[in-house]
Amino acid sequence: MKNNGNKFLTNDILKSSIVEAFKKLNPKYMMKNPVMFVVEVGTVVAFLLTLMPNLFGNDGSGNIRIYNAAVTIILFITILFANFAESVAEGRGKAQADTLKKTRKDTMARLIDKDGNEKMISSSELKKGDVVLVNAGEVIPNDGEVIEGLASVDESAITGESAPVVRESGGDFASVTGGTTVVSDWLKIKITTNPGESFLDKMISLVEGASRQKTPNEIALNTVLVSLTLIFMIVLITLYPMANYTGVQIPVSTMIALLVCLIPTTIGGLLSAIGIAGMDRVTRFNVIAMSGKAVESCGDVDTMILDKTGTITYGNRLAADFIPVANIEKEELINFATLSSLKDDTPEGKSTVTLAKDMNCNVEKLEELAEGAEFIEFSAQTRMSGLDLTNGVKIRKGAFDSIKEYVRNLGGEIPSDLDEKVNEIAKLGGTPLVVVADNKIYGLIYLKDTVKPGLVERFERLREIGIKTIMCTGDNPLTAATIAKEAGVDGFIAECKPEDKIEAIKREQSEGKIVAMTGDGTNDAPALAQADVGLAMNSGTTSAKEAANMVDLDSDPTKILEVVEIGKQLLITRGALTTFSIANDVAKYFAIIPAIFTVAIPQMEMLDIMNLATPFSAVLSALIFNAIIIPCLIPLAMKGVKYRPMSAQKLLLRNVIVFGGGGVIVPFIGIKLIDLLIAPLLMIIGL
């Protein structure tokens, strides 16, 4: 599923987009985009004027016929470019859908009936509630929940990641996706979807755009564009008799050209493409959005609810410090702690060795000392692990109570400050591992749930754009406060229960805020449903994925941070291109208005600051620029405006300066250059 290829336009997409651009000329389809529908109607009228120049009583000379034909062709190209922009966006989604369809296979499933007998049937015949057995090397036939067994599952067909993941019955890792492959062992799976309703089917439908509906912001902006179009149509209707009154006879094709240049055709042609491209960017990031509204809501997020474990911290407690007891030298403690961990492949063991290296411990020398030693694995009964050296020294590290009992059985003494230092670590939310060599306790390894690197900076970026972060954790308030301060979140909820998350979301929403959160378990489902943006992990339970409006195929809880930034980018792109579109109309006014009225009102010539050659070249230059600016902006609409964290005020100022100012300057330059190119040609044909 993951597509790291960022090639904007492939040959296949180009060909299909050109074909689709012509298909979309159907008036029934064009009416969905009122701005471009007005352009299409204008094209038809200009075409009729080309065939019958005196249709509305205008001059029917050969020259005006050529002018009408030029206007018709330019308007037609304008519509094609707008349709092409939308088709390119849809084509990228369809290309992804085709890749996913290759993944979908009609496999054979081993159905288990009520009597426990196996029956081979097609996966397309499976119904919700059926139980199937999937052995190593077999494809999981449909979405389901593991009810028995434990196995490694290759999900690369869906996520693009080659490393298998473990799926087992019970807990939050029981959900499996149809189309993935069991690598080892076996799984007994209860099917949770009917044919055609699987997660893969939904993904295909979403990326194809079949389920895409216009978002609230898109509808609102479309309403504004329609209103502007109506206003300019009224202006034009009143302008025509006013021109006649002043003795200016304006060709109808020029009036059409003026209307097309007045209405916001640029953003009208790109609006749909921007929305489709926003969903496409999220999908390419390996997140499936259940609707365009979900992506758009990401851009409006005010508050983010985050779980501590797995999101803010690694979840695995890692060694953070060595704390000696009594009069023991810290170097002695580090040496014995390292020896006990050299053959320990757990995160705790590996992090202990890493910490020792960071403290300049000579690990190579200790590895030589440990050659031939017997490794004692951790067990639930002993709650300790360690090493028996060849010289007879027995080193152990483990839980406080277990080590105390172990030392007493060997006749050793318990240091007087051991209890105090164990309690200090516990108060900080850490885990103390006691280190002992033979019957002598040397100190403690302080294990803590480590904050993921880079999160402080990312939370700072979110703070810059006005997003508040709240950490939820089951830890006590003291531990929660410590982690919250270290991570840089704005607030925390300690000893948090599932209902506390819902309460926190409702409290923020009651203040008019948009809330996002992540989750993977069944107990997260209510909160995911309540949140405006609920990002469920693909590794999570079916109920969590059904409750959320976005699913992360990589099951990375921190991805919510990037998803919010993609949503912001969608809104910024739409706002930037709208600003540019409205601003570049200014230059068109200075091109066409003077061209129309200068003959009757010589004073209007002072508005012709571009000094365009003739009235006809002025109108055609403005129209040509209006057409070619649409395909020029397609790459920006597809890739999005580069996102930079900043306040709303700074963002507005940047948009006004960069896209507003650019929208005014670029057309002046573009129209003048086009005029210089076409004016000689128009002189040859007598226009």
| Rounded (5°) CA angle 210-141-560 | 55
Helix spans in 246-329 (H): 252-262, 265-284, 292-299
Q: What is the distance between the alpha carbons of residues 46 and 560, in angstroms, rounded to a whole number?
A: 51
- Residue ranges for the binding site for Mg(2+)? 520, 524
Tokens of 594: 């003077």
Mark whether 106 is an active-site residue. Answer: no
Q: What is the distance between the alpha carbons of residues 343 and 372, in angstroms, rounded to a whole number?
A: 11
Sign of CA dihedral 414, 417, 419, 424: negative
Is residue 544 within 8 A of residue 522, CB to CB? The reply is: yes
Is residue 282 within 8 A of residue 289, CB to CB? The reply is: yes
- Choose the catalytic residue: 130, 143, 154, 307: 307
The residues that bridge with 432 in the sheet, in sequence order, are 446
Is residue 563 within 8 A of residue 282, CB to CB? The reply is: yes
Tokens of 500: 């506390």
Q: Cα–Cα distances in Å, from 601 out to 245, 258, 504?
A: 12, 18, 67
Return the closest-CA partner of residue 538 out of 249, 234, 218, 172.
172
Characterize the bridge pairing of strands 118-122 and 186-191: unpaired
- Residue ranges for the binding site for ATP? 344, 348, 378-385, 397
3-state helix, strand, coil in the chain (%, to 5): 55, 15, 30
Q: Which amino acid appears at position 571 of this protein? A: L
Tokens of 444: 């403690």
Q: Cα–Cα distances in Å, from 52 out to 46, 56, 272, 322, 654?
A: 10, 9, 35, 93, 49
Residues designated as active site? 307
